[in-house]
Amino acid sequence: MSMSEVIPRPEGTAIPAQPEMHAAPQALNFDSQDLQACVSMMQGGSKTFFAASRLLPPRVRSAAIALYAFCRVADDLVDEAQTQDAPLEVLQTRLDAIYAGTPHDHVEDHALSLVVQQYKLPRHLLDALIEGFAWDAGGRIYDSIEDLHAYAARVAGSVGAMMSWIMGPQSTDTLARACELGVAMQLTNIARDVGHDASIGRLYLPRQWLSEAGVSPAAWLVRPTFTPAIAQVIERLLDEADRLYKQAHSGIAALPPDCRAAICAASMIYAEIGHQLRREGLDSVSKRTVVSTTRKLMLLASAWTQVHWIRVADHHPAPLAAIVGLVQACQTATQQSGHKAYFPNRAMPQRVAWMLDLFERRETERLDRNALRQTA
Q: What does 289-342 look like in DSSP terms, one character per residue? A: ----HHHHHHHHHHHHHHGGG----SSPPPPPHHHHHHHHHHHHHHHHH---B-
| Phi, psi angles (nearest 5°) of residue 23 | -130, 150
| Pairwise CA distance, residues 262 & 183, whole Å | 18
At residue 214, the pLDDT reads 97
Residue type, position 208, single letter: Q
Residue 33, burial from CB neighbour count under 10 angstroms (0-12, 13-18, 19+):
exposed
One DSSP character per residue, 168-210 reads: S---HHHHHHHHHHHHHHHHHHHHHTHHHHHHTT---S-HHHH
Residue 316 pLDDT > 60: yes
Confidence of residue 242 (pLDDT cuts 50, 70, 90): very high
Residue 234 pLDDT > 90: yes
The answer to which of 16-30, 115-129, 140-154 has the lowest mean pLDDT is 16-30
At residue 312, the pLDDT reads 73
Higher pLDDT, 339 or 298: 298
At residue 275, the pLDDT reads 96
| Pairwise CA distance, residues 90 & 150, whole Å | 24
Residue 354 pLDDT > 90: no
Q: Which of 166, 163, 180 is nearest to 271 (CA)?
A: 180
At residue 44, the pLDDT reads 47
Query: What value does the mean pLDDT of the chain take?
Result: 80
Q: Which of 104, 122, 107 is nearest to 66 (CA)?
A: 107
At residue 369, the pLDDT reads 55
At residue 341, the pLDDT reads 37
CATH number at residue 173: 1.10.600.10
Given a contact cutoff of 8 angstroms between Cβ atoms, the answer to whether 134 and 88 are in contact is yes
| Pairwise CA distance, residues 82 & 272, whole Å | 38
The answer to which of 26-35, 108-117, 235-244 has the lowest mean pLDDT is 26-35
At residue 46, the pLDDT reads 45
pTM summary value: 0.78
Confidence of residue 151 (pLDDT cuts 50, 70, 90): very high
Given a contact cutoff of 8 angstroms between Cβ atoms, the answer to whether 343 and 164 are in contact is no
| Pairwise CA distance, residues 230 & 284, whole Å | 9
Average pLDDT over residues 289-293: 88
Instruction: List the domain range (segments joined by +) for residue 317.
Output: 3-375
Residue 19 pLDDT > 60: no
Residue 55 pLDDT > 80: no
- Sign, CA torsion 134/136/140/142: positive
| Phi, psi angles (nearest 5°) of residue 341 | -140, 130
For the chain, what is the domain count? 1
- Cα–Cα distances in Å, from 66 out to 1, 128, 276, 334, 363? 22, 18, 32, 22, 28
Residue 118 pLDDT > 80: yes
Given a contact cutoff of 8 angstroms between Cβ atoms, the answer to whether 174 and 251 are in contact is yes
Average pLDDT over residues 156-161: 94
